[in-house]
Amino acid sequence: MTEAHAALFRPLAVRSLQLRNRIVMSPMTRSHSPGGVPGPDVVEYYRRRAAGGTALIVTEGVAIDHPTAVDNPRVPHMHGHAALEGWRRVVDAVHAEGGRIIPQLWHVGPLWGAMSADVDPDLVPMRPSGVWGKPGVTSYGDDYVARASLPTPAMTEEDIEQVVDAYAGAAANAKAVGFDGVALHGGHGYLLDAFLWEGTNQRDDRWGGDIASRTRFPATVVAAVRTAVGEDLPIFYRFSQHKQQDYEAKIANTPDELKAVLSPLAEAGVDVFDASIRRFDLPAFDGSDLTLAGWAKEVTGALSMAVGSVGIGATLRESRTQGAAPVRDNLPELERRLGSDEFDLIAIGRLHLADPALATTLRSGATLPEFDRTIHEAALI
């Protein structure tokens, strides 16, 4: 193994979580759990990635126990006896292969109805201020944007309390079935992110206002999750600049603003910041080569994880229109940044679909697979 590859295969400890390398399977919605219950095919799907050498699997988004958490009946739940038993089998299979696994707990917030228009019209989406967000560069169709842009009631204090409790309950369930930690989806315009973004949070109470106040709700959720899982299990937190409502939106325009956003989350209990961008190696701010993951680590002192287009020459949005995505030789850049400890983990999504034994492929130096959306994105293999 070369010194460059050695950066990928160093072990890492995060609280009680012991990782055999720095390779993570990124969360990807698969919609293969009818009724919210992961079945034997889901067990095998995750088991194969662990058997292939991947150190940590972050599951697809998993619904917390709240009526508008997710709008797709095939997205798995982290509540209910059948779903939890399904997850127990997943966890046991991954552990048997030497891997580790954490669930990504999810509430879609303002984006309720984006995955399925067939939703209960009596259910009110959870939105900080009752707004979807000002549409910008988005991949959503005009019909959905028009429907979603209609105002709804803002979240009440009771709504906020119920959602916080639902996150804590899901985290406790994850611990009970044997997961090695938990991840929170706090990016892409979903509920936690909607409080951070001024485009969706226009409140004038303690849950809105300046950056520090807009961080209060996600920090409260993190603190509740920390209480639920105790001190041993790590908490990962996905955040992003871009929103699905507008890919050009930002929650922070400078490193100081990013510090104001992320520091309260670290203080509440986040161990690893998962910086979601379309290319892991993009500089985050003018005047510096540091990536978003690099800046997250710099301003908080916490560990960080990068993600985005490893080995692929097209972003996710581009591959959805182009089908096959060309191979991009960006591994030397990944190894340089990971080896210098700019960030601590690398999450890889699409190549894990193309090659369940991706970690073994990387260790051997073999040719990376080509991701083809028409073959790999829909299949549970």
Q: Which residues are catalytic?
A: 190
d(C-alpha 134, C-alpha 148), whole Å: 11
Among residues 374, 346, 307, 375, the alpha carbon closest in space to that of 7 is found at: 346
Cα 81 to chain centroid, rounded: 25
d(C-alpha 131, C-alpha 170), whole Å: 26
Q: 214 vs 9, 165, 205, 227, CA distance in Å?
A: 38, 19, 10, 22
Answer for the pair 337, 22: CB distance below 8 angstroms, yes or no: no
Q: With the C-alpha atoms ordered 231, 161, 104, 293, is the resulting torsion angle positive or negative?
A: negative
- Widest Cα–Cα separation across the chain: 59
Beta-bridge mates of residue 13: 18
Among residues 229, 228, 174, the alpha carbon closest in space to that of 64 is found at: 174
Among residues 162, 173, 188, the alpha carbon closest in space to that of 77 is found at: 173
d(C-alpha 15, C-alpha 345), whole Å: 15
Beta-bridge mates of residue 61: 104
Identify the three-state secondary structure at position 179: coil
> Can you read off the two tokens belonging to residue 85?
């038993």
- The DSSP call for residue 286 is T
Among residues 75, 61, 66, 74, the alpha carbon closest in space to that of 104 is found at: 61
CA geometry: angle 379, 17, 223, nearest 5 deg: 95
Given phi > 0 = left and psi -120 to 50 = alpha, else beta, which region is 185? beta
Task: Please provide the DSSP assignment of 293-309 as one string.
Answer: HHHHHHHH-SEEEEES-
